[in-house]
Amino acid sequence: MNSSIIALAVLASAAAAHAQTGRYYVTDESGFNQVWQFQGGALVGTFPTNPAGGADGPIIVDGNTNTVRSVKGGFIGGAAPSFGTEYNFAGVPVGAPGSLSLNPAAQVGYGRVIDAAFDGTNTYIVHGFSGTAGVFQYGANFSGAGTLMFNITGPNASTAQGITYDTLTQTIWTSDYDFGVAAGQVRQWNAAGQQINSFLVVNNAGQGSERNTALAYDQSDDTFWMNAHVENSLGFGIGELWQFSRNGTFLQSIHAQQTNPNAPANILYWGGEIFLIPTPSAAALLGLGGLVALRRRR
What region does 237 belong to: left with phi over 0, alpha with psi -120 to 50, or beta? left
For residues 106 and 20, what is the distance between their CA atoms, to the nearest angstrom? 38
Measure Cα distances from 24 to 14, 66, 123, 247, 250 in Å. Answer: 20, 14, 17, 20, 17
Phi, psi of 12 (to 5 degrees): -65, -45
Q: Are 3 and 219 in contact (CB under 8 A)?
A: no
Measure Cα distances from 245 to 27, 157, 187, 188, 224 in Å. Answer: 23, 20, 13, 13, 6
C-alpha closest to that of 209 among 172, 181, 188, 236: 181
Please report the pLDDT score of residue 179 as a whole number. 84
15-29, 132-146, 192-206: segment of lowest average pLDDT: 15-29
Tens of pLDDT, residue by residue over 3-43, are: 333 333 433 443 444 477 899 999 999 889 999 999 998 99
Domain that holds residue 255: 3-294
- CB burial readout 107-145, b (16+ within 10 A) else e: beebbbbbbbbbbeebbbbbbbbebbbbbbbbebbbebe
C-alpha closest to that of 100 among 82, 116, 118, 126: 82
Specify the CATH number for the domain of residue 236: 2.120.10
Q: Are 82 and 76 in contact (CB under 8 A)?
A: no
Please report the pLDDT score of residue 155 as a whole number. 86
Tens of pLDDT, residue by residue over 145-178, are: 999 999 999 889 999 999 999 999 999 999 999 9
Please report the pLDDT score of residue 234 as a whole number. 52
Q: How many domains does the chain have?
A: 1
pLDDT at residue 283 above 70? no
